[in-house]
Amino acid sequence: MKNSISKFLSLAVFAAVALITSCSSDDDGTFDEVDPSASFVLNRDDFKGELNSGDEVILESGTYKLTGKLIVNDGAILIIKEGVKVEATTVSDATDFAAVRFIAVAKGGKIDVQGTATNPVVMTSSNKTPGAWGGLVVCGKAPINKGVTASAEVSDLEYGGTEPEDNSGTIKYLRLEYTGFAYNSDKEFNGLSLFGVGNGTTIEYVQSYEGSDDAFEWFGGTVNANYLVAFNSHTEVGDDLFDWTQGWTGNGENWYGKRTNAGNRGIEADNNSNNHLATPISNPTIKNITLVGIGETDTSSETQAVKLRVGTKATFDNVVLSNWKTGFDIQHTESIGYVVNGSLIATNVKFDNVTTKSTGKDTAGAAVDVSAFYTEDATATGAGNGAQKPTWANGWTLGL
């Protein structure tokens, strides 16, 4: 009997050691070797800290209280199952920047958000006010035009590199609420911030709801992002729905953006404000997009549906712009030159209650006719249902 027990215990110990010291390695986020020093302790009521190489943390169900910053470092993965809520707790002192709540994926780290249309993952705040917490930041190894690498304006993590197919994981059916914490007027979080993220990453079905800064912003990279929703109605929301800069060259399909407040533009698009010809040049392809504003009642200073400037290129197709004072605003000589040569273009555009369809100015401030930028199509459907909520947004979004 003693021998049988001894053999059983030996086998159990052997199996446990084998499980700890080796896992399969693949893009699904597991690793060949698990670092025996990995020691992240998951606490549902005190969720913060750093995941290091070999850490695989799974949020299974229910609510996790985000009480500080959470960093997913190189070689680590954060997996979030459907229906999970991550709720940022309130910072007692708004000037205590070290206590800001946010989630960031560093270069080489991965996130796997496994929401569904009927049971999305929700990242929110206990304080239901825009700017209550930081949001989600992803940093990758894909090219940018600010340098080979740079430091992210939020999280201070390095981003950029020479790997356009870099993979930072998968994000599906995620709703981000009340994001946009601001350190100051020049440094604030977005809903989803994508710094040099590669096209091996999957981003689909993501909503930014009542974020105080941009809903979605791309800082270079090659990542594709489809089925995005931005909605702002709060009086404290003031920036753009979609924003890109620093050489983003990915694709986007099925975007729906709506604001019912005096916020900023539907899209603000740049190449590089310090060097309009910096490469890689921002040049995304955006298909099936609807942007809805508030029309003539808009008293904000930025009432354009789409502002394209400082040397960005882009290709748009199947566009619906509804209730804006200005449809397309194109600025700076380089971007206007791309209108002339056809590398900045919009086809199949439907204008619905848009006062001025297009306006343009060169770098010197002289007015330029840019109406050649777009072609019209009264039957354009945009994100799928014209100015109305698209059917693919049913069940997992708010506010629409």
pLDDT tens track, the chain, 400 positions: 333 333 333 333 333 333 333 333 344 443 333 444 557 999 999 999 999 999 999 999 999 999 999 999 999 999 999 999 999 999 877 677 778 899 999 999 999 999 999 999 999 999 999 999 999 999 999 999 999 999 998 899 999 999 999 999 999 999 999 998 888 767 789 999 999 999 999 999 999 999 988 999 999 999 999 999 999 998 877 679 999 999 999 999 999 999 988 778 999 999 999 999 999 999 999 999 999 999 877 777 778 999 999 999 999 999 999 999 999 999 999 999 999 999 999 999 999 999 999 999 999 999 999 999 999 999 999 999 999 999 999 999 999 9
Q: Which two tokens stand for residue 325?
A: 């004072």
Torsion of CA 308, 312, 313, 314, to 10 degrees: -50
Token duo for residue 355: 């006062």
pLDDT of residue 90: 93
Assess contact for 345 and 339: CB atoms under 8 A: yes
What is the per-residue pLDDT for 109? 98
Cβ atoms of 192 and 223 closer than 8 Å: no
Question: 3-state DSSP call for residue 312?
Answer: coil
Q: What's the sign of the alpha-carbon dihedral 282, 268, 210, 238? A: positive
Name the amino acid, one letter, at 336. I
User: Which regions of 332-367 does DSSP assign to beta strands (E)?
Assistant: 344-361
Where are the chain's structural domains?
A: 42-223, 256-274+282-399
pTM score above 0.85: yes
Rounded Cα distance between 250 and 315, Å, is: 11
User: Cβ(137)–Cβ(105) under 8 Å?
Assistant: yes
Structure confidence at residue 180 (pLDDT): 87
What CA dihedral angle connects 269, 275, 278 and 282, to 10 degrees?
Answer: 0
Helical spans, DSSP H, in the chain: 2-21, 333-341
CB 283 within 8 A of CB 375: no
Confidence (pLDDT) at 38:
59
- Whole-number Å distance between alpha carbons of 131 and 292: 22
* pLDDT recorded at residue 11: 36
Return d(Cα 111, Cα 102) in angstroms, integer.
14
